[in-house]
């Protein structure tokens, strides 16, 4: 029996237009109405994780939000305020090494500024300079990214705290080589994930989507066997492979689908064919009779 549903957003719960379908939203609500705990588990920050569901408060207010690949967890909405339940920041010493690396290599980056406010947890994003990669993110996601040309020095001086995530933007042609080089340089000191189309996410080495879920389900006394995880990307693999039931979208990256098929995971229809709603209704919901 599924007691907890964890879902990725982009290209999983969200269709090609970046929005959830009415069927997907209805499926989430059906799960919630059966007292199944539901959490969005995304590489997005808190604000961006919330945006797709703001128009359906009856669903949105009941969701847990696991953001930045598991480095931030906030609870359901309580009068518009979400409690910060967990945060895992990049260690200060590692951050200084990463800043040295980025400065020497000349790579653009985006800093995740997590802090607690009277309105709940906030997670803004700041870039060191405006580049085509930054413009592409803004155009693609409608994200608000502040620009601070002194960001590097402010981080070194401690004016901003260590982040839960840094987004490195080496450019599409360089991403594969930079990803391998960062793995070589930082080894087990960072959790690194490639995200499309030209981005590398860097987080605390203990962070991933599976660990984020594990921390949250402990509040309910659930185990990972009670979890159904739905996703499509490389950063979803930890939760897909370690949950009681992993469901991979039909539009998943070829390497992800191939490994999912090898491990016997469920393959759903694509996100544009309402595969997300199909996965919840077929494998997550209890018999209504």
Domains defined for the chain, CATH in brackets: 4-87+207-284 (3.40.50.1000), 92-203 (3.30.1240.10)
Tokens at 209, concatenated: 């989507």
Give mean pLDDT, residues 109-137: 87
What pTM was estimated for this model as a whole?
0.91
Looking at residue 2, what DSSP letter applies? -
**Segment 133-149 mean pLDDT:** 78
pLDDT score of 196: 67
CA nearest to 8, candidates 258, 284, 232: 232
Mean pLDDT of all residues belonging to the chain? 93
Assigned token pair, 204: 């605390």
pLDDT tens per residue across span 189-227: 999 998 767 889 999 999 999 999 999 999 999 999 999
How many CA atoms, within 13 angstroms, populate the side-chain half-sphere of residue 98?
32
Contacts of 140 (CB under 8 A, 6+ apart): none
Least confident of 17-31, 131-145, 161-175: 131-145
pLDDT tens for 52-101 read 999 999 999 999 999 999 999 999 998 888 999 999 999 999 999 999 99
Query: What confidence tier does 289 reach under pLDDT thresholds 50, 70, 90?
Result: very low
Distance CA 223, CA 183 (A): 31
**How far apart, in Å, are the Cα atoms of 125 and each of 37, 131, 139, 234, 252?**
29, 15, 15, 23, 27
Query: Could you tell me the pLDDT band of residue 135, with boundaries at 50, 70 and 90?
Result: confident
- Closest by Cα among 244, 166, 236 to 208: 236
């Amino acid at each position: 029996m599924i007691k907890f549903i964890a879902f990725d957003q982009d290209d999983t719960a969200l269709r090609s237009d970046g929005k959830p379908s009415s069927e997907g939203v209805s499926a989430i609500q059906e799960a919630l109405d059966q007292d199944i705990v539901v959490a969005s588990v995304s590489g997005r920050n808190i604000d961006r994780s919330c945006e797709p569901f703001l128009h359906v408060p009856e669903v949105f207010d009941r969701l847990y939000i696991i953001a930045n690949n598991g480095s931030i967890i906030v609870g359901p909405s309580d009068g518009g305020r979400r409690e910060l339940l967990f945060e895992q920041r990049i260690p200060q010493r590692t951050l200084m090494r990463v800043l040295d690396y980025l400065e020497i290599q000349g790579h653009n980056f985006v800093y995740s500024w997590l802090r607690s406010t009277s309105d709940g947890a906030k997670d803004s994003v700041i870039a060191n300079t405006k580049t085509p990669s930054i413009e592409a993110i803004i155009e693609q996601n409608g994200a608000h990214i502040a620009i601070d040309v002194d960001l590097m020095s402010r981080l070194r001086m401690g004016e901003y705290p260590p982040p839960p995530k840094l987004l490195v933007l080496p450019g599409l042609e360089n991403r594969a080589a930079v990803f391998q080089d960062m793995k070589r340089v930082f080894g087990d000191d960072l959790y690194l994930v490639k995200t499309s189309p030209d981005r590398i996410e860097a987080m605390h080495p203990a962070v991933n989507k599976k660990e984020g879920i594990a921390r949250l389900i402990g509040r309910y006394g659930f185990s990972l066997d009670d979890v159904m995880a739905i996703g499509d990307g490389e950063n979803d693999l930890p939760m897909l492979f370690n949950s009681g039931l992993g469901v991979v979208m039909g539009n998943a990256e070829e390497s992800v689908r191939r490994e999912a098929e090898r491990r016997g995971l469920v393959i759903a229809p694509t996100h544009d064919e309402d595969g997300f709603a199909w996965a919840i209704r077929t494998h997550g919901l209890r018999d209504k009779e």
